[in-house]
Structure 1
Amino acid sequence: MKLLFPLLTAVSLACTVHFQLGLAYVPASLIAALVHGMVWILLSVLGLRKHPGTQFGLLWGAACTGPAVLFNNQLFDILAKVHLQWVSAAGFAPVDEEALKILGVVLICTYCTQTTRAVDYVFVGIAVGMGFTVFEDAAFIARMTLENLESDTTGAVLATFIRGIGVVNHPLYAGMAAYGLVNRFCFP
């Protein structure tokens, strides 16, 4: 069981790299995504460095973006076949994304670190959410840059600003889910 986390992380990272390499980046979107990602990852590492398992959490969050996109695409195809495409990504994306993030929290806190406090689970959840949002934002910045009709630079700046406003969403949701998980099952 100790090899489960590294094995799942390696497979997920391969899926994420495959997904990210398939995106159409222009220089402006690539620079914007890299700066956006580096700033938030640096702030996360500095802010969460005292809590065990948060570096594993950032890695898992980054790794599970590829499988989440894969699952979301498959669910969208299934819903289109049964004429439910109106449900869209907002209806089913949170299900698989949160399930992947909580799986990471459980694996990290069970096999990778010695967690003795309930709050450790919450901080690992926040780190998983931050890793997830940084890599998801890179994909959104690439797409939003290409969709902007004014210029690549304007699109990259607007996309980075828009995604920067919502950067707390995934860490917040993953932290709340980890809090609920730990209070229900680990430290009742």
Structure 2
Amino acid sequence: MPHIDYFFSTVSPFTYLAGTKLEEIAARHGATIAYKPVDIAALFSRTGGVALKDRHESRREYRLQEIRRQSSKAGLPINAQPAHFPTNAAPSSYAIIAAQAAKAKGAEGDLGALAHGFLRACWAEDRDIAEDEVVRDVLSSAGFDPSLADKGLLLGAETYAANLEEAVSRGVFGSPFYITDGDERFWGQDRLDDLDAHLSGRL
């Protein structure tokens, strides 16, 4: 059975613009997904990236144009300058980690819907995903027990840090980032077709 390690930030606009295409691809190929939220600011600082606030104006302008174009292509609404960005991605990341652990023990819930729910809340709904009320609501909407927002704090903190170290060691430098069996790496929502082709044996 194919497997995909999915490294991502819950405050990444391009991860939001991936929609649920990863889950559709995985279902088509019978692949499993391990959701690995990471601290994108720390990842950038460890791998040569530049924080948005420190980028040249031309790069910031291009980013806004690209967000607009990619939003149109994906058919997903987006506010390229949302009310709550940047915000603390840790609470939403901890919730995803806790939900994945609960799912492994038989809990109900949709991890893809959960991850996309946080991204949509930030980039299309102008909600602050660092707020406890928002975290609980997104958990509930994806079919998970909202109390996971409280129960998974220690596991979340430990795994979030471990995910960062794993990302750095495996060559991850942005979000979204997908790694398949055999260490094939794909960066960006615009490489999902390539991931699909790879899993099909066409690439």
Establish whether TM, by shorter chain, passes 0.5. Answer: no
Q: Greater strand share, 1 or 2?
A: 2
Larger Rg: 1
Q: Greater helix share, 1 or 2?
A: 1
